[in-house]
Amino acid sequence: MTSATRPVDRPRPSPAILRQGLRVLWTGIRQQKKVFSVAVGGAALWALATVATAWAIGYVTEHAVTPAVESGEVTSGGLWMIFLVLFGVLLFNMAGVVLRRVAASIAGFNLQALYRRRVTRQYLRLPLSWHHSHPSGQLLSNAHADIEAAWQIFNPLPMAIGVLVMLVIAGTQMVVVDPFLALIGFLVFPGLFAANLVFQRVMSPRITRAQQLRAEVAEVAHESFEAGMLVKAMGREQEETTRFGGVTNDLRNSLINVGRTRGMFEPVIEAIPVLGTLAVLAVGTARVASGDLSAADVVEIAYLFSILAFPVRALGWVLAEIPRSVVGFRRVDSVLQAKGSMEFGEGDLPREGAAHSRSVGVSYAFAEPAERAVLGAEDPLEDPGPSVPVGPQRAMAIRDVTLDVPAGRTVALVGPTGSGKSTLTSLVLRLIDPDSGTVTLDGIDLRSVRKGEVPEVGTLVAQQTFMFDDPVRDNVTLGAELPDDVVWEALRTARADGFVSGMPGALDAVIGERGGNLSGGQRQRIALARAIVRRPRLLVLDDATSAVDPSIEQAILGGLRETGDGMTVLVVAYRMATIQLADHIVYLEQGQVVDQGTHAELLVSCEGYGDLVNAYAREAAERAAVAADEETV
């Protein structure tokens, strides 16, 4: 089997996690050099000011408080000195904290925003087949929770760096006072490192699992809310809640597991420096007793340790965040590295007159959707692996089809449900690429033209309409600068002007993502207007009027005829009237062209075609016959 089936939560050796963690940090720092430098500068200022605070209290005690107490006389100068020295150090400290915290969060949020842009660019760039194998909820979770997980580490990071500064200052001071005692103190670091190593080893598989479950919770929620109406209509609220409850409880247990590890790690990380302080005290006292060291030196070193005890925890926080950060980044990176995007050429397509579409020998098979992709299952940093799993039985949707749609003509695609008509329309406009064969427009291979060129020339109205959460106007123009009368004209051709003008706000009426208040037929007509307004050279209608009443459909098609000079039309249709508008009919069955010709020709030559288009008439005749029988009886 390929490596695609490797388990997701295979524990990985922790030095690798630490190394990857540092790499993730470095990646982030590199991209936020300036802001991050400010944060580190602030952290350094804060570190210096914190050490200076201890010094300042000692200084004013010695030079102002003690003389005043001993002499019994208070001078206003002395009191001012106490206040101003302490206040001055405080100001530095505060400035350091503000710089550190604000800059750190700006760096973190900048990175989040940057990666959100990159990830969503990928969503828009990657082919539809990629989308089919990646659940929407997972992708949503990736764009939010995973990116947050990857970069939240930037909040504690500068403080940890400040702590390192403090450690350097304190360490130098300790070495100056007594190298031997300092060495004992430094034993703390291997201790911290060892604890961290164990922690990473236990933590990273747990975090990986939690982050995957987080995405699954989003996935189930997204799917279930999309299915909202069905869930209601079937009364399956409880079953859906049980399904959601299942993943939610898995996530809960997984997070509790994470908490167990973290809950253990924190006290240990806190205890190690304190134990170090105690060791210094014990050994130091012995050295004072043996006359190797003065009592004041031990007090100073012990004091230095005690200031560090709290901030050293910031190091712990950063270390504790690393597995989460690595896992989040890995999941994000797997989207950024995803292969299989559409390649575009440099060519242009002509802009005048009706287009000639020709597909020669095209075949297309859907990727096996049973191979559900799991983000970050593969470690893209080390092992790219095959990105397209090849299953044994890929369903062939289209097999060796040759379709010619001459310029200015109307061609109808007819065939039973599931015969590959929609796939063929997607191929004609290069929403997908064929596995074999070529698709051309005006003789130019679609793969050789620039990105964005095909939609300029050809437009698809799909079976299922998608409405943007926008006003009617924007749903028609999709952002193009078009005067309102042009929009109205398109709506009129699509016979949508009537109900749109009746909506509160007319063109400004917001439809909402799900087009909630519109009927299926109304949504289809807005989708049609969306296509018409672009005046495409090739219009592909994939059963785009299925929810529209016959009389209105007739009017729309009539309108298209009038305005449709210089337009080639490929139409998927079942209705006799629609089919008869076509100059040429191509009949598909099981992904292959069975026959083609005019309506009259096909009625004679093709049995399947006749059965299909005459189904209603035959049905009506049979009913009439049965009714007649009943009457005669």
Partner 1 sequence: MTTTTPTAHDDEHEAINSEIGGSHELSTWATLKRGLELSPELVRGLWVTVLLALFATLGKVLIPFVVQQATDNGILADGGPDVDFVLRAVLLAAGAIIFTGFAQYVVNVRLFKAAESGLATLRIRAFRHIHDLSVLTQSTERRGGLVARVTNDVDTISMFVQFGGIMLLVSTAQMLVATVLMVIYSPILAGVVYLCVIPLVVLVTKFQPMLGRAYGAVRLRVGDLLGAVSESIVGAVTIRAYGVEERTEARIDGAIERHRAAAIKAQIRSVIAFTSGQAFGGITTAIVLVVGTVLAANDQMTLGQLLAFLFLVNLFTQPVQQATEIFNELQNAVAGWRRVIGVIDTPADVSDPGTDGVRLPRGPITVEFEDIAFSYPGGDRVLQDVNLTFEPRTRIAVVGETGSGKTTLAKLLTRLMDPSEGRVLIDGVDLRDIAFDSLRRRIVMVPQEGFLFDESLMENIRFGRPEAADEDIELAMTELGLDPWLSGLPLGLATQVGQRGESLSAGERQLVAIARAYLADPDLLVLDEATSAVDPATEVRIQRALEGLTRGRTSVAIAHRLSTAEAADVVVVVDRGHIVAVGPHEELVDAGGVYTRMHASWAAQQQG
Given the complex with partner 1, which of 508 and 549 has the nearer CB atom? 549
Given the complex with partner 1, which of 31 and 464 has the nearer CB atom? 464
Contact criterion met (CB below 8 Å) for 330 and 381: yes
Given the complex with partner 1, which of 8 and 615 has the nearer CB atom? 615
> By CB under 8 A, what part of segment 540-559 binds partner 1?
543, 546-552, 554
Given the complex with partner 1, which of 102 and 407 has the nearer CB atom? 102
Indicate whether 22 belongs to the interface with partner 1 (CB under 8 A): no
Among 8, 22, 98, 628, binds partner 1 (CB under 8 A): 98
Q: Distance between CA atoms of 225 and 228, rounded to whole angstroms? A: 5
Across the strands, what pairs with 471? 510
Among 120, 387, 563, 592, binds partner 1 (CB under 8 A): 120
Across the strands, what pairs with 347? 449
Q: Distance between CA atoms of 322 and 10, rounded to whole angstroms? A: 17
Indicate whether 519 belongs to the interface with partner 1 (CB under 8 A): yes
| Least distance to partner 1, CB of residue 42, Å | 11
Given the complex with partner 1, which of 20 and 154 has the nearer CB atom? 154
Distance spanning both ends of the chain, measured CA to CA: 68
Amino acid at 193: F
| Least distance to partner 1, CB of residue 40, Å | 16
Q: Distance between CA atoms of 609 and 594, rounded to whole angstroms? A: 9
> By CB under 8 A, what part of segment 128-187 binds partner 1?
128, 131-137, 139-141, 143-145
> By CB under 8 A, what part of segment 402-421 binds partner 1?
415-419, 421
Amino acid at 12: R
| Least distance to partner 1, CB of residue 397, Å | 9
| Least distance to partner 1, CB of residue 382, Å | 28
Dihedral of alpha carbons 447, 395, 613, 578, sign: negative
Indicate whether 336 belongs to the interface with partner 1 (CB under 8 A): no
Across the strands, what pairs with 528? none
By rule CB under 8 A, what string of x and - marks binding of each residue 360-379 to partner 1?
------x-xxx-x-------
Indicate whether 621 belongs to the interface with partner 1 (CB under 8 A): no
Given the complex with partner 1, which of 160 and 462 has the nearer CB atom? 462
User: Under 8 Å CB-to-CB from 610, ≥6 apart: which residues?
Assistant: 602, 603
**CB burial string 6-28: b at 16+ within 10 A, e below:** eeeeeebebeebbebbeebbeeb
By rule CB under 8 A, what string of x and - marks binding of each residue 344-363 to partner 1?
--------------------
Given the complex with partner 1, which of 22 and 627 has the nearer CB atom? 627
Given the complex with partner 1, which of 12 and 525 has the nearer CB atom? 525
Q: If binding means CB under 8 A, how many residues of this protein chain bind partner 1? A: 190
| Least distance to partner 1, CB of residue 522, Å | 5
Three-state DSSP at 361 gives strand
| Least distance to partner 1, CB of residue 281, Å | 6
By rule CB under 8 A, what string of x and - marks binding of each residue 267-296 to partner 1?
xx-xx--xx-xxx-xx-xxx-xx-----x-
| Least distance to partner 1, CB of residue 480, Å | 9
Among 190, 259, 361, 384, binds partner 1 (CB under 8 A): 259
The piece of 175-183, 188-196, 511-519, 563-571 that touches partner 1 (CB under 8 A) is 511-519
By rule CB under 8 A, what string of x and - marks binding of each residue 209-248 to partner 1?
-----x--xx--xxxxxxxxxxxxxxxxx-xxx--xx--x
HSE value, Cβ hemisphere, 13 Å, CA-based, for 61: 6
| Least distance to partner 1, CB of residue 13, Å | 26
Indicate whether 574 belongs to the interface with partner 1 (CB under 8 A): yes
Indicate whether 605 belongs to the interface with partner 1 (CB under 8 A): no
Indicate whether 39 belongs to the interface with partner 1 (CB under 8 A): no
What the block records as the tokens of 287 is 């050295």
Amino acid at 46: W
Compute, in degrees rounded to 10, the torsion defined by CA atoms 277, 280, 285, 288: -130
The piece of 253-261, 346-354, 376-384, 438-446 that touches partner 1 (CB under 8 A) is 253-261
| Least distance to partner 1, CB of residue 593, Å | 16
Indicate whether 399 belongs to the interface with partner 1 (CB under 8 A): no
User: Under 8 Å CB-to-CB from 154, ≥6 apart: which residues?
Assistant: 28, 32, 36, 104, 105, 107, 108, 111
Q: What is the largest CA-CA distance in the chain?
A: 132
Percent of the chain that is helix, strand, coil (3-state, to 5): 65, 10, 25
Helices (H), 450-519: 453-457, 472-477, 484-493, 497-502
Q: Distance between CA atoms of 148 and 325, rounded to whole angstroms? A: 8
The piece of 11-19, 169-177, 264-272, 319-327 that touches partner 1 (CB under 8 A) is 264-272
Q: Distance between CA atoms of 256 and 259, rounded to whole angstroms? A: 5
Three-state DSSP at 602 gives helix
| Least distance to partner 1, CB of residue 41, Å | 16
Three-state DSSP at 227 gives coil
| Least distance to partner 1, CB of residue 291, Å | 10
Indicate whether 599 belongs to the interface with partner 1 (CB under 8 A): yes
Q: Distance between CA atoms of 571 and 578, rounded to whole angstroms? A: 8
Q: Distance between CA atoms of 260 and 268, rounded to whole angstroms? A: 13
Given the complex with partner 1, which of 12 and 107 has the nearer CB atom? 107
Q: Distance between CA atoms of 152 and 150, rounded to whole angstroms? A: 6
Burial of 249 (0-12, 13-18, 19+ CB in 10 A): exposed
Count of Cβ atoms closer than 10 Å to residue 599 Cβ:
18
| Least distance to partner 1, CB of residue 611, Å | 5
